[in-house]
Structure 1
Amino acid sequence: MIRVTELKLPLHHPDEALAAAIRQRLRITPRDMIRFAVARRAHDARDKTNILLVYSVDVTLKNEAAVLARFRKDRNVQVTPDTRYRPVGTAAPDAQRPVVIGAGPCGLFAGLILAQMGYRPIILDRGKVVRERTQDTWGLWRRSKLNPESNVQFGEGGAGTFSDGKLYSRIKDNRHLDRKVLTEFVKAGAPPEILTEAHPHIGTFRLVKMVENLRQTIEDLGGEYRFSTRVDGLDLETDGAGQRHVRGLHLHDGGYLAASRVVLAIGHSARDTFAMLHEAGVFVEPKPFSIGVRIEHPQSWIDRSRFGADAGHPILGAAEYHISHHCSNGRTVYSFCMCPGGTVVAATSEEGRVATNGMSQYSRNERNANSGFVVAIDPARDYPGDPLAGIALQRHWEERAFVAGGANYKAPAQRLGDFLAGRPSTTLGSVVPSYRPGVTPTDLAECLPDFAVAAMREALPVFGRQIEGYDHPDVVMTGVETRTSSPVRFTRDEGLQSLNTAGLFPAGEGAGYAGGILSAAVDGIKVAEAVARSMAAA
């Protein structure tokens, strides 16, 4: 097959136009083409009066060699890449079972790949199975009752379960591991269009069933899950050469699990586990993250701003945006994890603290769009010294937000106009906040660092010039957004093991090597392969 890319057609093109565009591009007749299939479809809305659909297609021809020879210097006409996944090995019959800590996207795919290679992994998660975890999460959202071990952050599926379910990233991988992830998701029940859409997403309700189906696949292959199982300590030994090795894991209930290969896929909010690993001497360093708020606009405003008269077209769906601004105080403000047609959700995992996140369903048909509106911060500048100082910074502002919200898990919120004017909000306006268990109008400047407040006030009018209505006075800002990414990195060597602890494989977002569902899942695959290679070499 031949892949043809950058085929551009008007949004309202007839069905037969794509085949005609392929023939015109390749300079062939209808009799030369056997069939074609869409490999990818995106849209170009930079000119909202003339929105284009941009296709990549795989074409089967009667004489492909002749066409490829004619276009040998054209990077948009190439042989279709082979995206099939090939395992790196097969487990020996007596191989010790590797352990995966964490059942989020990274741990899930580490476990899946290990299971598919015959290693029968043991997967531990401090939280509950996904449906029980969902009930606990709703307990916070509906009744202000937090379960610190089962919530938005902890439990089967990880933090990505309660998100927009975005399945795209900026990672570059010539092995097409992202395709492996998407293919397994479709097998587990995801809509097939995630294989072709440029910006695929799933949504929370569909993710729940997919996570269950992937668990069943892993168990059918000999894997084992143990929920409500927190790892509270490492059993380490030092060999004659002074190299530290993992021997086993101490569990919260006093149990012990022997393990010489451990995948550490604990997510970005396992703060107590970060501290345990640091105390055990595992190499860790601080990592940049961001802090800010969730900002909400009516989705119809974003649609009109992005798509003009074509707002609401079913192919385009709910509009997204990605914006950033470099401020005069040296800070960068940017949108993060934009959730079209979604809701702002309570995302804390610790008592006495408030943290926010965004979530959408597959339909993306809720009233508001929301996004993180955040300011990048840096360890050397903002939390130097202790590698865990970023956690302390997060906790400080989450505690301030808890108090400002009323000390009952309501979140502090403010009208954008009041925020710019430097006055507390006493009421909200036409934009209705979606956060549950509710919001308290207040002054968000009391819940954020001064440098972040100054940068956000500078950026809002700039963003308003890019997206009509972005800086409308009634727009709602809800605080605080602190869990944009892990505040630490468990640095690893070329074999993807900890720099100073052999057998420990830091992975995914919690280890500082991913940002989102897809990149975390891909990292899980890479780490599973590294585990297999290390066991084969032992």
Structure 2
Amino acid sequence: MIKIGQLKLAVEEGQDSLLPAIAKCLKLKKEEISTYQILRRSLDARKKPQLFYVYTVSVELRGVSEKKVLAKVKNKDIQSYIPVLYQEPKCPEKIQGKALEDFFQWEEHRPIVVGFGPAGIFASLLLARAGCRPIVYERGKAVEERAKDVEALWEKGILNKESNPQFGEGGAGTFSDGKLNTLVKDQNGRSRYVLQEFIRHGAREEILYDAKPHVGTDALISIVSSIRKEIESLGGEIHFGQQYHFQKEEKHPLIIAIGHSARDSFRELYALSYPIVAKDFAMGFRVQHSQKDIDTALYGEISEELREKLGASAYKISHQAKHRSFYSFCMCPGGYVVNSSSEEGRLCVNGMSYSKRDSGYANSAIIFTIKKEEYGGENNPLAGIALQEYWEEKAFHLGEGRVPYSRYDKIKNVANETEDLELMLKGQSRECDLNPLFRFENYPKLGNIKEDFIESMEAFEGKMKGFAKGNTLIYGVESRTSSPLRILRDENFRCMEKDIYPCGEGAGYAGGIMSAAMDGMKVAEAYIRSLQNRG
């Protein structure tokens, strides 16, 4: 098999032009190409409004020597290729003298998975396929019922503390954009395996090759439900509405896949002397723009027909300000800002898109990194949670229980006559002065971040015209971008030399749906490997 990289086609040409382009690259006739597969597709807008798709493809030849073709073309972007196929872990046929099936009939041998977000889902899926009959505890509800509770929060302000945008089947990622990109290097094929499983359970095939794949909240709901049903069909049990309480001595093998919002569980683990350390994390605000402004900044002046074909555009941007850097995170094209709270008296926001990304507005978190030394984390592993709670309480009181927001010109304190944007918000809101949210009175090392925020917004305007318009909307607060702590584990993914496996975003080992799912796979593999020594 041959892999071709940097294969560039104008976006107007479409995929029908791929085959002749491949043949031209390889100096072959089209008939000598047996099959090809798109491995990756990204958009090149450096010469806007001339836009190109850049493809990476794998190619199988018909009646032609690959070695001779590679020698003839002599191109560093064309090389021999052996695809990496993920191998699902398998249990030994006998464990402790018992047949596999008999061993996992014993209740205490069955692994417990705590949390059913991406890490817990994919850990459970591998365990179930290997015959381990996992038992899952998820404090929230099944996704169908959870969706009703989330709507009640957004429409009526009614919070269910155990079933909300943070807790429940699918984890926090279910009510987000459903982004499936990751920066994790994948030498074992786990990333592609996760994408293939999403497709097998209902996602679009394009996620397998798009550089910035997403599925959307509406699609994720049915996908996670379908995966759950497969796990159950293989002998797994999933207990919704049951928060697991950790014990000094666990009776079952244990996979800890709780999300970063399970603060009471982290306090419980810390009280049991689990090895928890503080780490750097990030917080900030969510900003909203007209999607057309973002499209024009990224695509240039193009026809509406082409704009519709390309879909809503996405950006990634950063700036080093005077005291600290700000950067975009979890950008949601054609999306909504959402109330993502899970605790009484505290408020936080996130971003979400449906699969069509057609709201007409774009939003993104604009966040800054907070070092553990700035919030006392070197002395208290749970100090980052306390900082998040402090900021969320300020936001809650400022908005009187609703999402506080303001126009950017009011934050800058300048007059601006631009027309108001429509609020693309899932949740109740209150327009107010956001200045109190820029001040961290209880954290002198953080101080006031307003100057750096404004400097960064103006720098972003220089890179993307329209970013710092007066009518840009700023929502508070984006406080749960990542976990502020880590549960330590060894090279075998175990904690305290026991059959305890912390994983995913909450445990501090991931940052998004894909990396969390892959980390859940790693701990499932590690547990199954440990069974080899018990044969």
Q: 1:194 aligns with which of 207, 219, 222?
A: 207
1:66 aligns with 2:67: yes
Distance in 1, Cα, partners of 2:471 & 2:31: 59
2:58 maps to amino acid = D
2:271 maps to amino acid = E
Structure 1's 220 and 79: CA in aligned 2 closer, same or farther, altered over 3 A?
A: farther
Comparing 445-454 with 143-152, which one deviates more in the overlay?
A: 445-454
1:375 aligns with 2:368: yes
On the 8 A contact 2:248/2:272 being kept in 1, the answer is: no
Root mean square deviation, CA, Å: 1.9
Q: CA deviation at 1:523?
A: 0.7
On the 8 A contact 2:155/2:428 being kept in 1, the answer is: no
Q: CA deviation at 1:515?
A: 0.7
Q: CA deviation at 1:232?
A: 2.2
On the 8 A contact 1:289/1:485 being kept in 2, the answer is: yes
Secondary structure in structure 2 of the residue aligned to 1:374: strand
Distance in 1, Cα, partners of 2:430 & 2:113: 40
Q: What is residue 251 of structure 1 aligned with on the other side?
A: none
Structure 1's 31 and 367: CA in aligned 2 closer, same or farther, altered over 3 A?
A: closer
1:136 aligns with 2:143: no
Secondary structure in structure 1 of the residue aligned to 2:425: coil
TM-score normalised by length of structure 1? 0.91
On the 8 A contact 1:120/1:222 being kept in 2, the answer is: yes
Q: CA deviation at 1:343?
A: 0.4
On the 8 A contact 1:181/1:521 being kept in 2, the answer is: yes
Q: What is residue 240 of structure 1 aligned with on the other side?
A: none
Q: What is residue 424 of structure 2 aligned with on the other side?
A: 434
- For residues 18-57 of structure 1, the aligned pairs below 5 Å read 18-57=18-57
On the 8 A contact 1:26/1:67 being kept in 2, the answer is: no
TM-score normalised by length of structure 2? 0.92
Q: CA deviation at 1:367?
A: 2.3
Q: What is residue 185 of structure 2 aligned with on the other side?
A: 172
Q: CA deviation at 1:10?
A: 1.4
Distance in 2, Cα, partners of 1:337 & 1:74: 36
1:3 aligns with 2:3: yes
- For residues 70-89 of structure 1, the aligned pairs below 5 Å read 70=71, 74-89=75-90
1:18 maps to amino acid = L
Q: What is residue 462 of structure 1 aligned with on the other side?
A: 459
1:87 maps to amino acid = E
Q: What is residue 294 of structure 2 aligned with on the other side?
A: 302
Distance in 2, Cα, partners of 1:286 & 1:488: 4
On the 8 A contact 1:508/1:514 being kept in 2, the answer is: yes
List per-residue Cα deviations over 1:306-327 (Å, max 9, x = no partner).
1113365344210001001111
Distance in 2, Cα, partners of 1:315 & 1:137: 32
Secondary structure in structure 1 of the residue aligned to 2:18: helix
Secondary structure in structure 1 of the residue aligned to 2:275: coil
Q: What is residue 531 of structure 1 aligned with on the other side?
A: 527
1:233 aligns with 2:246: yes
Structure 1's 149 and 33: CA in aligned 2 closer, same or farther, altered over 3 A?
A: same
On the 8 A contact 1:428/1:441 being kept in 2, the answer is: no
Q: CA deviation at 1:51?
A: 1.0
Q: CA deviation at 1:67?
A: 3.9
Structure 1's 263 and 73: CA in aligned 2 closer, same or farther, altered over 3 A?
A: farther
Structure 1's 495 and 305: CA in aligned 2 closer, same or farther, altered over 3 A?
A: same
Q: What is residue 161 of structure 1 aligned with on the other side?
A: 174
Give the number of equivalent residue pairs: 511
On the 8 A contact 2:181/2:212 being kept in 1, the answer is: yes
Distance in 2, Cα, partners of 1:128 & 1:3: 45
Structure 1's 374 and 16: CA in aligned 2 closer, same or farther, altered over 3 A?
A: closer
Secondary structure in structure 2 of the residue aligned to 1:309: coil
Secondary structure in structure 1 of the residue aligned to 2:301: helix
On the 8 A contact 2:157/2:428 being kept in 1, the answer is: no
1:440 maps to amino acid = R
Q: What is residue 244 of structure 1 aligned with on the other side?
A: none
Distance in 2, Cα, partners of 1:325 & 1:269: 28
- For residues 503-518 of structure 1, the aligned pairs below 5 Å read 503-518=499-514
1:517 maps to amino acid = I
Q: What is residue 259 of structure 2 aligned with on the other side?
A: 267
List per-residue Cα deviations over 1:349-389 (Å, max 9, x = no partner).
10011100000000000021010011111101233321100
Q: What is residue 352 of structure 2 aligned with on the other side?
A: 359
Percent of aligned positions with the same letter in both sequences?
A: 40
- For residues 249-260 of structure 1, the aligned pairs below 5 Å read 259=252
Structure 1's 57 and 67: CA in aligned 2 closer, same or farther, altered over 3 A?
A: farther
Distance in 2, Cα, partners of 1:422 & 1:124: 52
Structure 1's 436 and 16: CA in aligned 2 closer, same or farther, altered over 3 A?
A: closer
Structure 1's 81 and 393: CA in aligned 2 closer, same or farther, altered over 3 A?
A: same
Distance in 2, Cα, partners of 1:390 & 1:42: 37
Distance in 1, Cα, partners of 2:390 & 2:303: 41
- Structure 2 unmatched ranges of 5 or more: 93-99, 441-446
Q: What is residue 472 of structure 2 aligned with on the other side?
A: 475
Q: CA deviation at 1:290?
A: 1.2
1:493 aligns with 2:490: yes
Structure 1's 311 and 302: CA in aligned 2 closer, same or farther, altered over 3 A?
A: farther
1:172 maps to amino acid = K
